[in-house]
Structure 1
Amino acid sequence: MYIVMFEFVVKPGARQQFLNAWAKTTQGIYLFKGSLGSRLHRDKSGAFIAYAQWPDKATWEKAADIQMSPDYEAFRENMHEALNLESTRILYEMEVETDYLQRRPFAVE
């Protein structure tokens, strides 16, 4: 399993737009691009940190070339509009060494 951690920098006043769009964008990435899902966290400073799981590094790398449905691409664009993309960054790319997280199916609404 491959893990990618992001720090999202949200524009002032765009917090709710980001949160709504992040959830739907994550669903689209799961459905169309082969991710295993993601978790969004806020650290003690208020920064948004996402932990995304992928079956392997190759699936993550190929995902950039896969289009989602028009609706999910619109959610992705809406998420990007809520972000300061110049400051948003990948914190880590990691292989899983030992895994004790419990898994359950992704709930698509």
Structure 2
Amino acid sequence: MDADPDDAQRGAIPRLGRDAVGHYGAMTTYDGPATAIASGIEYPVTASLAIASRGNGKTWHGTLTAEDERAAWEIFDDEDTQLRIGDRLPEDFRSASFDAHTAEVVIQGRGSAPFGY
């Protein structure tokens, strides 16, 4: 996303989106289609993810919105879950919370992020 020059003059924080990049050109957020894998079953989801620096390492986290409540529950309830974006290798995550009304699952990644550089 292009930053609005008027926002910078007003001191506004630019919005991050699908193509947000951090230092050295590394993608720090991802908003788009993904596949959650729970108990070997693939579920199409919409992911909204971010990478955060913590101490000497990086973590990733965000939300997954499933097609329906049942799919969101299956993702949330499984202890061996992975997330794949595009043709990248799937990466492990754990679910932190589940909202049946929105079919949204809040997640915390384990290891490398499935997006970025």
Answer yes or no: same fold by TM over 0.5.
no
| More strand per residue | 2
Q: Which has more radius of gyration?
A: 2
| More helix per residue | 1
Q: TM-score, normalised by structure 2?
A: 0.31
Q: TM-score, normalised by structure 1?
A: 0.32
